[in-house]
Chain A
Amino acid sequence: MQILVASENSLIVYFGENVSQTISDEILHVSTFLTAHVGHTLIDLVPSYASILVIFNPLKTDHLHVRKIIKEAFQEIHNRNQDVANVYDGKTVELPVYYGEDAGPDLKLLADNAGISTQQVIDIHTSQDYRVYAIGFAPGFAYLGEVDERIAAPRLPTPRKKVPKGAVAIADRQTAVYPSQSPGGWNLIGLCPTDMFNPESQSIMPVSVGDKVRFVPIEQKQFLELGGQLPQGEVI
């Protein structure tokens, strides 16, 4: 663990250099500890793959105290014998996906790169649970990992100007659902009809950091019945 200065009112806590479930569990644990113990002096927390940005109110506390509390949170993890993963086991959310070349223009490319069929790409993508490691970039954008190496693919050399809402995408060993239409450089393989971010709804997002996601393949008919909309015009 390493605590570094990030700004006048934030410290960044690094838990390691790689992505792992253990680190992600520790991040959840420390976030919960900080909120419970010094929540009233904090402005916000940004958990990510292997770090937490701890933003505090400098008129209520200072970096010395925040640093001390972060260390206490770590002490607490290590004093516990039980596996923290058992304490912070998030929910599993099923997200329906309509895969197909009309829904995912890069599906064929991924299949060709791996030397497998598009159906095999779909089978691999739907065969495991993904963990929500971070939420950011845009409201409701959940970074899910880790994708099977066979279907991992680098970002496009030139990002698309318009990625449709609900696009299911892969970049390196991460996968995600675009919550709204936006520019984006990830490889598109399908469309999900579930709202990933709905400010009007009671549950704004179906997932939070620490949850698990499983993609379930559906047909175009079901996709439309579930409220999905096919993108108008070509996705370029």
Chain B
Amino acid sequence: MFHIITPGILSLLQDAGRYGQHAIGLTTGGPMDPLAFKWANRLLNNDTNATVIETTVGGLKLKANTDTVIAVTGAKVMLTINGDEKPQWQTLEIKNGDVIELAYATQGSRIYLSVAGGFQVPQQFESSSTVLREGIGGLNGSALTAGDELAVEKNKNVSMKKLPGECIPEYEADVTLRVIPGYQQHEFSRHDQRMFFYHEYEVSDLCDRMGYRLSGPAVNCQIDGILSEGIALGAIQIPKDGQPIILMNDRQTIGGYPKIGSVLSMDLAKLSQLTQGCKVKFEPITLDHAHNLLVLAQHKFENTQLEPLELQGEKS
């Protein structure tokens, strides 16, 4: 059992996401930074769909009531166990009674805390992912709150390892988002398309798990609205005011605003690590290119070997 002492800004239980449920209007949810999520589980030899805690910005404090192993990935943050600073991106042994605390992120904003075997949470619609807007997943569809108890598996045998340093992502404040042009792309004039792809946009204060609203030069669409249609992950909606909104994991499943294309999922992960005031640029890529990038990224993940940690006795 893990006991939540303070949940921080926003802590949500997430597995890989809820799929195949759009027919009843349910969105996908799941980790905003899937790569950091995948490493958090892989370090512990967990199932790829195991449930972790996604903490936004930080402030999470929890107490372990069992011996186990954890890992913390994602945004750079000071992590302590009983007050002693510990590294991210590696396995960490936990003893019954240990207090784990995350300070506030200094680079990036989404932090993932995984436990050996995953947090044991009942599934709703085949997933434990919490979507607050729907009140589905997690513990009763809610964010974690002080006093929550999270069940974990006992006596999980996990070998101690770490991710090689060169594989740890850097969370930069300015990113280029690769875009697959599509949807109503041709309803935007050449001039407006160039404007969109050649200017810098800033992350506004209106950004959450549903969408990231950007501010910058207005992009005008030649049509006002469209018949409501399915919204893909990463779709870039352009409402009347011309300020792009990038639709993220908790987006609504259908909508009637024109869209100029969609951001590559690997880059959405980077976007999700940005905070208000960060800068983004867009770069168009072809669908074939996107496909290659996705397949290669998966091969890279699968073929990266974790490094064994030196034994405790050999330390110091």
Chain A residues engaging chain B, CB cutoff 8 angstroms: 4-10, 12, 17, 19, 43-53, 55, 58-59, 62-63, 134-141, 143, 180, 197, 199, 204-205, 208-209
Contacts and interface: CB of A to CB of B under 8 A. Distances in A.
Contacts of B298: 59
B295 interface: yes
Given A8-B234, A52-B230, A45 B22 contact: yes
Contact of A135 (B20, B25, B232): B25
Contacts of B21: 44
14 contacts: A6-B183, A6-B232, A6-B235, A7-B235, A7-B261, A8-B290, A9-B294, A12-B229, A17-B227, A48-B229, A134-B254, A136-B230, A136-B255, A138-B134
Interface in B229-276: 229-235, 252-255, 261-262, 264-265
Nearest to B265: A8
Interface in B18-47: 19-26
Given A8-B287, A49-B229, A44 B134 contact: no
A9 B288 CA distance: 11
Contacts of A204: 24
A51 B20 CA distance: 17
A5 B124 CA distance: 31
A46 B182 contact: no
Nearest to A141: B25
B265 A51 contact: no
A12 B230 contact: yes
Contact of A5 (B181, B229, B252, B255): B181
A204 B295 CA distance: 36
Given A5-B182, A59-B295, A51 B230 contact: yes
A87 to B, nearest CB: 19
Interface of B: 19-26, 124-125, 133-136, 180-183, 227-235, 252-255, 261-262, 264-265, 287, 290-291, 294-295, 298
A76 B233 CA distance: 30
Contacts of A136: 22, 25, 228, 230, 252-255
A208 B261 CA distance: 29
A139 B136 contact: yes
A204 B290 CA distance: 36
Q: What are the nearest 4 A-B pairs in CB distance?
A: A53-B230, A46-B230, A136-B254, A7-B262
B245 to A, nearest CB: 15
B20 to A, nearest CB: 5
B26 A48 contact: no
Contacts of A62: 291
A8 B23 contact: no
A32 to B, nearest CB: 12
Nearest to A200: B124
B227 A5 contact: no
B229 A51 contact: yes
Nearest to B181: A5
A197 B180 contact: no
A94 B215 CA distance: 46
A116 to B, nearest CB: 29
Given A53-B232, A137-B254, A205 B24 contact: yes
A58 B134 contact: no
Contacts of B261: 5, 7
Contacts of B182: 4-7, 12
B252 A7 contact: no
A4 B136 CA distance: 32
Contact of B252 (A4, A9, A58, A138): A138
Contacts of A45: 22-23
A59 B135 CA distance: 31
The interface centre, meaning the residue of B20, B264, B287, B294 with most chain A CB atoms within 10 A of its CB, is: B287
Contacts of B233: 7
Contacts of A139: 24-26, 134, 136
A152 B79 CA distance: 57
Contacts of A140: 24-25
Nearest to A39: B20
